Structure 1
Amino acid sequence: MPVPVPELGSYNFVPETKEDLDWADLITLDFSLLKTPEGKKELANTLIKAVREDGFFYVKNFNISQERVNRQFALGRQFYELPLEEKLKYVPEGLDEGKFNGYVPAGRRILDPVSGLRDRVEMYNIPKFNGDFKHEHPALVQEHLEEIEQFARSLSTEVLQPLHNLLATALELPEDYLLRIHDYDQKSEDHLRYMKYTKFTPEENLKLGKLWGRGHTDLGSFTLLFRQPVAALQIKNHKTGEWKWVKPQDGTLTVNACDALSFLTGGYVRSTIHRVASPPKDQEHVDRLGLLYFQRPNNNAVLHTIQDSPVLQREGYTQNDFEKSGNPVPTMEQWTFAKQKWQRTPNIVRGVDEKHATAQILPGWNEKIYA
Structure 2
Amino acid sequence: MKKIALLTNGVFPFVVGGMQKHSYALAKNFANSKINVDVYHFRKEENKTIALNQYFSDEELRRINFIEITFPVFRHFIGHYIYASFCYSKALYENVINKDYDCIYAQGFTSWYFLKREASLKVKLITNLHGLEMYQPSINLKNKLEQCLLKIPAKKIIQNSKANISLGGKLTSILYTNGAPENSVIELPNGIDDSWIIDENAIAALNQEGLKFLFVGRYERRKGIEELLEVIERTISNENYEISFIGPIPKNKQIDHPRVMFKGLIADVDLLKNEFLNADILVCPSYSEGMPTVILEAMASGCAIIATNVGAVSTMVDDQNGWLIEGDIKIGLDRVITEALHLDEKELRDKKLVSINRVSEKFTWERVIKQTIEAIYHIKY
TM-score (normalizing by structure 2): 0.25
Greater Rg, structure 1 or structure 2?
A: 2
Of the two structures, which has the highest relative contact order with CA contacts closer than 8 Å and spacing of 6 or more? Answer: 1
